[in-house]
Structure 1
């Protein structure tokens, strides 16, 4: 979402919602917020990397999902329900920061609050501020005081560092294309366009200043992009009634886009799983062939003890005094018994060494297969392109992985779902790495759950320094483990539960692979699993 589109949306909000009251606030997902206004319009926010937008939805716009009672949404409802939306404003020219100002009257005392939306891709965030710019709530907290901008409740809000890019004044500012891309605060597609057609820059800016928006989807060369003002030399593919209509349609396209990428990754993992299984079959067959190295070694030892025996009909008659049996060992033509004995010793030694390496390869392939199956299953819970890309980079070793010594940009993506069951916090891992994090961060007395002999999530009840969870809580959490397993469509699922202190991870084991003892067993029905989606998120 570029600056011009955001500016057009802000103008649209001011034109259609000034003085409207907030009727309700709904957060169906942690990154998604809907604000229902008194004129039946809906302000829609998405702080996910993709889609990432602020839009004013039309009357009757459906809100997908039910409110999950997230803490951020709870605070907004408590403070802003019934408040008046006074105005929307941008922080500065070229900056993608929006401030929505609300006014309330509480016991005759007027108050103002601000909702700040930082539209910055995967770093997008929502802040709820007091009139004095004190942070009352933040969607994505950052408690690391060593960072440039810690984001903590109670601290003063400070905008993110400016990009320090220049704002062009003339079409000639785009003449040096490489320099313009580095220094001008315009989207790349507009920089390229005004580089070729500098005379169109003044009318474009005049239309922006006059708020003469006409949103279109352009095709220019091999690039497709959106613009709030039509460009003369770019082919128009589609018109939109408003900036928000453009964004809401783009949201659907982006959502479909990451789903296509997810399905593509699932198919790629299918190919890798089939390849790993083929390799395991090949290694197993090769291992079976080399199991007879003991027989080769025995023949070589017998030949060594009977080198003095003459060859009769191309074989050496040997006596095995350990078993009191005889054996005729054939000698290949043009080969002496000594040469054949040495060849047998070499073959036996090679087969014995190969058995060791084949066993290691089979174990490695089986671990890899388990990881692939686990991640393929967990992809069904992915919520956006960011998670799909992170999984692809980690699992398949794509070239998009950060170079050695550079910070992993996907390191901060958390695939852990947190639920609340009768006051107990429950952590659910939604990837192999998240499973390790959930399990290894648990306390010894916490309860640990996993579907028996089936790929699925590690689930932990945070029970440290708490009363022993009652039986109905344990059963509900077992149902969660069954629901987040590959057997979630089965009529019944067996789930093992044990204390975290009885769960062990062997050094060098695959990510997400653990061993456990002292388990008890739960049988979970399909009816019990149906109640899991309605549980409250922490």
Structure 2
């Protein structure tokens, strides 16, 4: 998806209509590269979102409320100082580029007269250019950089610096033609002259259009080629002959068709006919395939893919629809990544601790050897003396009477060396049981953290991430954990339609755990815990004694419960469906088959002091099944046992 120059033209038109003359009321910075400006116009508060994030750079009015951090960054403070209470005077696009300039005048500008007043104010420059996107505040002269949300040094860019106090220079101009300044005839001549001998003859026709004309991203370039009745994926070399009989006529025909399509789209842009912005998405997955500020005729995605075309009342409404789920995906990925680093750090420490304990156990298991050394030294007191560094003696306790070499401390008498070995023996005996207990607890810690890591990996909402974080804190792993995951709006998640509803989880703040609920193909209820807290609740409090409990064998995974019928039975179909879910919500999700243990809930118990989700069980049987998510959408259990 690309926010191209034509999209910027449509956004500029909408923002000019709605924000010109608006008073800037508040400014905040919800994330590192994102600014929200609240502007008031005719009693209405409009929320302007400006993002320089590499994955989702854009500018538009948004309906999505975002958190206002308690401590605003320095750039946000600078914007507040110079822009709050100012009025938006004009909004201009630089050509058909992805650069917007918002001029903000001082509060008294509209009450003053004279040329001097016209120069009082600041300019906010928004550059929407992928990873090079930026938000830059310019001084009264419109040429000097006050600051920017991203600093660009000479070492980062040979073309320009973006630093406070430096003169502002726009990004390097692209060597492309502006289609808005062309006639149909001049477009046809340019295409006819340049297309056959183009150096990039192996690129597709759509790519050639995008590379040749300003303002068109991949979607609109493809739209133009399709409107010309040509194949947008066909290479230029294959579509446009450069020799042979009739080649000139074919090139002329293709040039006329492309010029006509370019001219038609250019007229839409010049007239600002952006009344029906549209989105095309895969009807099966909800994945957005294309979006534009006017209706599209193309069918992206390839043959066999059914698409849904949606139209919106405004450009901003469409951009909210397109980008909000992507913002949520990025926020979720970042929150999971930060928390996973903390979990991996705890795991690494626990594994190093286990290595030390295993080494200590190996030493402790040499206790009998220490006692033997002491006894042999005592038996050979007559031949040993102070100053010896070792002793070669016969092992009288060995049936074969093999010789043994014993290291001695030359500073000690033989009896004192014997006491050293007896002391090591006593210490090893005392520490053996303690070290075994410590090792077992460390193994439990590793198993628990591996389970938490899996739960985090499979988390599908910020609420689920926050619940895992709270669980870690309650379990004593609070040190070094990142802060609470930031919400993007009041709902945390947003389901676009039925196809996307799985993105939104339950509100973890509700208190009572709410495990996922499925139905087997023959109607049995199956419950699945989403994290260790829910696993504990589901198994130890929610399930009935005769319900069937399932878990992946020997690897981290969710607790799964099948509700038995009134006779205490479950069908074979329900057992296979539940086992498939247990495999799917386990570390073996990518495996062909996963061993799943199952038993009655009454044979599952939680050891005293065990961490959340940790249980032991008996009388189990095992099934080998492929991981399988049931086709029905998961619901969420109400947390009550109503039987």
TM-score of the superposition, structure 2-length normalised?
Answer: 0.44
> Counterpart of 1:287?
361
Q: Distance in 1 between matches of 2:123 and 2:469?
A: 35
Q: Distance in 2 between matches of 1:284 and 1:451?
A: 27
Matches for 1:85-484 after TM superposition, within 5 Å: 189=28, 207-209=41-43, 211=44, 213=46, 215-217=48-50, 221-223=74-76, 235=124, 237=126, 244=317, 247-248=320-321, 249-304=323-378, 311=385, 314=388, 315=391, 320=396, 331-395=408-472, 396-398=477-479, 412=511, 414=513, 416-421=515-520, 422-441=522-541, 442-463=543-564, 465=566, 467-484=568-585
Cα displacement (A) at 1:497: 1.3
Alpha-carbon contact 1:504-1:516 (below 8 Å) kept:
yes
Q: Distance in 1 between matches of 2:45 and 2:554?
A: 62
Cα displacement (A) at 1:446: 0.7
Over 3 Å counting, the alpha-carbon distance change for 1:453 and 1:399 in structure 2 is closer
Alpha-carbon contact 2:599-2:621 (below 8 Å) kept:
yes
Task: Write out per-residue CA displacement over residues 419-457 of structure 1, whole angstroms, 9 at most, x where no aligned residue.
Answer: 223443221012222222211122211111112222211
Alpha-carbon contact 1:216-1:238 (below 8 Å) kept:
no
Q: Distance in 2 between matches of 1:221 and 1:319?
A: 78
Over 3 Å counting, the alpha-carbon distance change for 1:412 and 1:243 in structure 2 is farther
Aligned partner of 2:592 among 491, 495, 515: 491
Q: Distance in 2 between matches of 1:477 and 1:511?
A: 22
Q: Distance in 2 between matches of 1:466 and 1:439?
A: 20
Alpha-carbon contact 1:316-1:331 (below 8 Å) kept:
no
Cα displacement (A) at 1:498: 0.7
**Any stretches of 5+ residues in structure 1 without a counterpart?**
1-170, 172-185, 191-199, 403-408
Q: RMSD of aligned C-alpha atoms?
A: 4.3
SS at match of 1:369: helix
Over 3 Å counting, the alpha-carbon distance change for 1:284 and 1:227 in structure 2 is farther
Over 3 Å counting, the alpha-carbon distance change for 1:501 and 1:301 in structure 2 is same
Cα displacement (A) at 1:504: 2.1
Matches for 1:508-523 after TM superposition, within 5 Å: 508-523=609-624
Alpha-carbon contact 2:550-2:597 (below 8 Å) kept:
yes
Cα displacement (A) at 1:269: 3.2
Q: Distance in 1 between matches of 2:513 and 2:125?
A: 40
Over 3 Å counting, the alpha-carbon distance change for 1:476 and 1:288 in structure 2 is same
> Would you tell me which structure has more strand in proportion to its own residues?
1
Task: Write out per-residue CA displacement over residues 449-470 of structure 1, whole angstroms, 9 at most, x where no aligned residue.
Answer: 1122222111011227455222
Alpha-carbon contact 1:445-1:464 (below 8 Å) kept:
no
Cα displacement (A) at 1:391: 1.8
How many aligned positions are there?
332
Over 3 Å counting, the alpha-carbon distance change for 1:227 and 1:489 in structure 2 is farther
Alpha-carbon contact 1:482-1:488 (below 8 Å) kept:
yes
Residue 611 of structure 2 corresponds to residue 534 of structure 1? no
**Which is greater in Rg?**
2
SS at match of 2:528: strand
Matches for 1:52-63 after TM superposition, within 5 Å: none
Q: Distance in 1 between matches of 2:622 and 2:446?
A: 26
Task: Write out per-residue CA displacement over residues 68-95 of structure 1, whole angstroms, 9 at most, x where no aligned residue.
Answer: xxxxxxxxxxxxxxxxxxxxxxxxxxxx
Alpha-carbon contact 1:215-1:246 (below 8 Å) kept:
no
Task: Write out per-residue CA displacement over residues 279-337 of structure 1, whole angstroms, 9 at most, x where no aligned residue.
Answer: 33343234323421211112324545665776499449688479695877564323112
Matches for 1:8-87 after TM superposition, within 5 Å: none
SS at match of 2:366: helix
Task: Write out per-residue CA displacement over residues 488-533 of structure 1, whole angstroms, 9 at most, x where no aligned residue.
Answer: 222222212110111122222333222222222222135xx25x24
Over 3 Å counting, the alpha-carbon distance change for 1:188 and 1:397 in structure 2 is farther
Over 3 Å counting, the alpha-carbon distance change for 1:187 and 1:509 in structure 2 is farther
Over 3 Å counting, the alpha-carbon distance change for 1:212 and 1:357 in structure 2 is closer
Alpha-carbon contact 2:599-2:618 (below 8 Å) kept:
yes
Q: Distance in 1 between matches of 2:512 and 2:546?
A: 27
SS at match of 2:372: helix
Alpha-carbon contact 2:513-2:537 (below 8 Å) kept:
no
Q: Distance in 2 between matches of 1:384 and 1:321?
A: 66
Q: Distance in 2 between matches of 1:387 and 1:349?
A: 50
Alpha-carbon contact 1:449-1:481 (below 8 Å) kept:
yes
Over 3 Å counting, the alpha-carbon distance change for 1:513 and 1:218 in structure 2 is closer
**Any stretches of 5+ residues in structure 2 without a counterpart?**
1-22, 30-36, 53-72, 89-103, 106-121, 129-292, 294-313, 484-507, 637-643
TM-score of the superposition, structure 1-length normalised?
Answer: 0.52
